[in-house]
Structure 1
Amino acid sequence: MASIDTSAGRIGYLEQGGGDATPILFLHGVGSDKSVWQPQLDHFGRSRRAIAFDYPGYGESDVREGATRDDFAAAILAGMDALGIGRAHVCGLSLGGVIAIAMHAAAADRIASLIIADSFAVHPDGQGIHDRSVAASQAMSMGDLAAARAPLLLGKAASDELKAGIVATMAAIDPATYRLGAAAVWLADQRDRAARIAVPTLILCGDEDSITPPSLSEELARLIPQSRLEILNGAGHLANAEQPKIFNEAIDRHLSEADEIR
């Protein structure tokens, strides 16, 4: 694990790879941290710099009281500055997809392309999910919340090992940080921002995702002009961890096209 001092405080990150190709950044979900992206770091680090960041309060990142989704986006942009990355492909899952859209709104010139996985512009039950998440984080330990939540996040074929890893990662999150993340993701309405996205965008969603179902990705695809939607078979909400091979292959195809029009 590593961290770096930035203008937004200390930010945790993992990095693999190098070379001249445009780097790719990975942004995690509300109940996770940078470690969930290890299958992608291993794969994409063979051809370019691949970096997974923690948001403020997560992993090795400094806490920022009252941080919003735009503060999370600003922290990732500050992390890019600190690592000498001017422009990158940005891949975000769930909350990460929300933050990726916010990054484009804040600094479109720094976004080479977007990959938005198992996410949305606005969630029809966002307020309800937020309120239930906050109440649960106050009524039980994060370990108990993680154990209850994990089965909902994963598709039918997910291994016990993956489920245990998801639970352990979520259990380590500070409850106050989790509540900030819940507000950042579930209360988002970024339909106007999504409609203004002007870079090639790949939208991915697991066909077994019950939390952000494919219909929300279909809505994103209608909103974002230069977008393509791919549904990933055999994956729930954490498609990158459940089906890393097909997840990575879809991004490889996207990067091949996006790098050509750079």
Structure 2
Amino acid sequence: MMTLINNRNGQQLAVYRFGDDTKPSIIFSNSLGTDHGMWQAQIDYFSKDYDVICYDTRGHGRSSVIENTTIIDLANDVLDVLNHFSIEKAHFCGISMGGVTGIQLGIIAPERFNSITIANSAAKIGNAEAWLSRADAVEQNGLADIVSTTHTRWFSEQFDYLHDVTAQKTIQSLSVTQPKGYAASCRALAQTDLRNQLGKIIVPCLALCGGLDPVTTVNDGEFLKQHIPDCQLAVIDASHLSNIERPVEFNKALLAFIQS
């Protein structure tokens, strides 16, 4: 069921809740250019035993487009969702941009999380010039060029994304993402480098990597493991959206971690 909530800036976030709200909570954070629907395999798997919360990151799905966004704003949106439902503490799992959001949450609000899973992500993704160039291009020309090539970054050649329902819906969600929302997130990523702050994170973390990921590599995960005081590493035989390409392995790794 979708709930529209206001964040601390009075802007709307679309939030979806599944399962039993008396059980431990897991909140999932989507990647750049997608929406909450990318987590369908995790919703199906975890909602039997957990209170599962997904949301559309600002500028994505049915959440408001908010320009001049920073990674701290993305982290605060998660805290606003938890506060709306009076959830004192939750497990967090974010992928790609959502993973960076999780790192920021570990730095500014460790007391709110039982665990943080940083999937297919890094403390710094790419370089500022490329992100800013992409943001400008998308605002001027739309997302068509990115949509046409995104499967090569999101999925490996061994994955039949054409016949996977969640993969197709996720590519569709990219095609309908508002260019200004996508661009705002690109600019947030351009200015994000959390490498020197990883030592502040006192929450147990899992760096969950795709062994075939060309965007955020296993080396990025190993860097997180080395610099976050309590961080495990798991590698799945998948590309960038490992939760869609290898949902069974992803779910098993996430479950084993949060149960530990």
Superposition TM-score, scaled by structure 2 size: 0.92
Moved more, 245-254 or 19-28: 19-28
Corresponding position of 2:246: 243
Q: What is the CA distance between 1:73 and its match in structure 2?
A: 1.1
Cα 1:52–1:255 change in 2 (3 A) is same
Aligned residues: 255
Distance 1:241 1:186, change over 3 A: farther
One of 157, 165, 177 as aligned partner of 1:173: 177
Post-superposition offset of 1:11: 1.2
Q: Say which is worse superposed, 105-114 or 186-195, in terms of deviation.
A: 186-195
Q: 3-state DSSP class of the match of 2:198?
A: helix
In 2 relative to 1, CA 21–176 (structure 1 residues): closer, same or farther, beyond 3 Å?
same
Farther off after superposition, 139-148 or 41-50: 139-148
Measured after TM superposition, the shift of residue 59 of structure 1 is 1.4
Higher mean C-alpha displacement, 185-194 vs 105-114: 185-194
Q: 1:256 aligns with which of 252, 256, 259?
A: 259
Residues 60-79 of structure 1, C-alpha deviations (whole Å, 9 max, x = no match):
21222312111111111111
Whole-Å Cα distance in 2 between the matches of residues 199 and 223 of structure 1? 13
1:26-46 Cα distance to aligned partner (Å, 9 max, x none):
001112111101111111101
| 1:79-119 superposed Cα distances (whole Å, 9 cap, x missing partner) | 11112211101001010011111122222110111100010
1:42 corresponding residue in structure 2: 44
Distance 1:73-1:107 versus aligned 2 partners, 3 A rule:
same
SS at match of 1:14: strand
8 Å contact from structure 1 (residues 57, 64) kept in 2: yes
User: One-letter code of the match for 1:169?
Assistant: S
Q: Cα distance, 1:245 vs. partner?
A: 0.3
Structure 1: 4+ residue segments shifted above 6 A: none
The 3 A distance-change label for structure 1 pair 176 and 215 is same
Three-state SS of the structure 1 residue aligned to 2:34 is coil
| CA 1:70–1:202: 2 relative to 1, 3 Å | same
Is the 2:225–2:232 contact (alpha carbons within 8 Å) kept by the matching residues of 1?
Answer: yes
User: Where in structure 1 are there 5+ consecutive unaligned residues?
Assistant: 258-262
Change in CA separation of 1:15 and 1:60 when aligned onto 2, cut-off 3 Å? same
Find out whether 1:52 has 2:30 as its counterpart: no
Q: Partner of 2:117: helix, strand, or coil?
A: strand
1:91-240 to 2 correspondences below 5 Å:
91-123=93-125, 125-158=126-159, 159-162=161-164, 163-233=167-237, 235-240=238-243
**C-alpha separation in 1, matches of 2:133 and 2:120:** 20
1:32 corresponds to: 34
Post-superposition shift, 1:238?
A: 0.2
Secondary structure in structure 2 of the residue aligned to 1:230: strand
The separation in 2 between residues aligned to 1:21 and 1:126, in whole angstroms, is: 40
CA distance in 1, matches of 2:170, 2:115: 28
Q: Which runs of 5+ in 2 are unaligned?
A: none
What is the percentage of aligned positions where both structures have the same residue? Answer: 27
